[in-house]
Amino acid sequence: MPNQPILRYPHPVLKKLCNRVENIDTTILSLVDDLLDTMHAGPGSVGVAAPQIGVTLRVCVVDVSANRHGKDNNYGQLCMINPEIIARDGSAIMREGCMSVPDYTGDVERATAITVNFSEPDGTLREIAASGFEAVAIQHEMDHLDGILFLDRIVSIKTGLFRRKSYA
């Protein structure tokens, strides 16, 4: 399947709560292929979630292995159906952008380590413990499945350092 155009906000699908996948049938397998093709077509893309190509199902793909931040610590290509974060630990701020919200970036706080379970396209249940950049990428993509954009999570407009002083 060809890669699909990435929907951009304000497309309403990007703010929808996505539905669980009940059966992994050929439609779902072809959705996974589309997501992979779309991810590989985007320069430097490390993940795509189903709503970004217009499908409100809980499916996303992540692959940070070619990214400088993720190349030394990753599970390779992940195709995640019905992913759930069952544990999270730590916190770090990273400046994020999103193909669905071009021309804007912001500092977002994410867990630095997460345990995620999900179904593989072949139906196998899998649990992984991701950390660092890969954990951030997974959290960003999984947010899409809940209609959450990074804009909903921005924690500072650059000058957080300078909040405290009173001039009274």
Question: Where does this chain touch other proteins (CB under 8 A) — which range of 20-28, 78-86, 88-96, 120-128?
Answer: 88-96
Q: Which residues, 6 or more positions from 168, have their beta carbon under 8 angstroms from its beta carbon?
A: none
Question: Where does this chain touch other proteins (CB under 8 A) — which range of 22-30, 81-89, 96-104, 110-118?
Answer: 96-104
3-state secondary structure (DSSP) of residue 3: coil
Which CB sits closer to other proteins, 6 or 24?
Answer: 6
Q: Report d(CA 148, CA 49) in Å as an integer.
A: 12
Annotate each residue in 136-155 with x if it binds other proteins (CB under 8 A) or - if it does not, as one string: xx--xx--------x-----
Annotate each residue in 104-143 with x if it binds other proteins (CB under 8 A) or - if it does not, as one string: -x---------------------------x--xx--xx--
Residue 102: its H or E element: strand 101-110
3-state secondary structure (DSSP) of residue 85: strand
Contacting residue, 13, 96, 114, 119, with other proteins by CB under 8 A: 96
When asked if residue 162 is in the footprint of other proteins (CB under 8 A), the reply is yes
Residue 108: its H or E element: strand 101-110
C-alpha angle 82-50-23 in degrees, rounded to nearest 5? 45
Question: Where does this chain touch other proteins (CB under 8 A) — which range of 29-37, 71-79, 112-120, 157-165?
Answer: 157-165
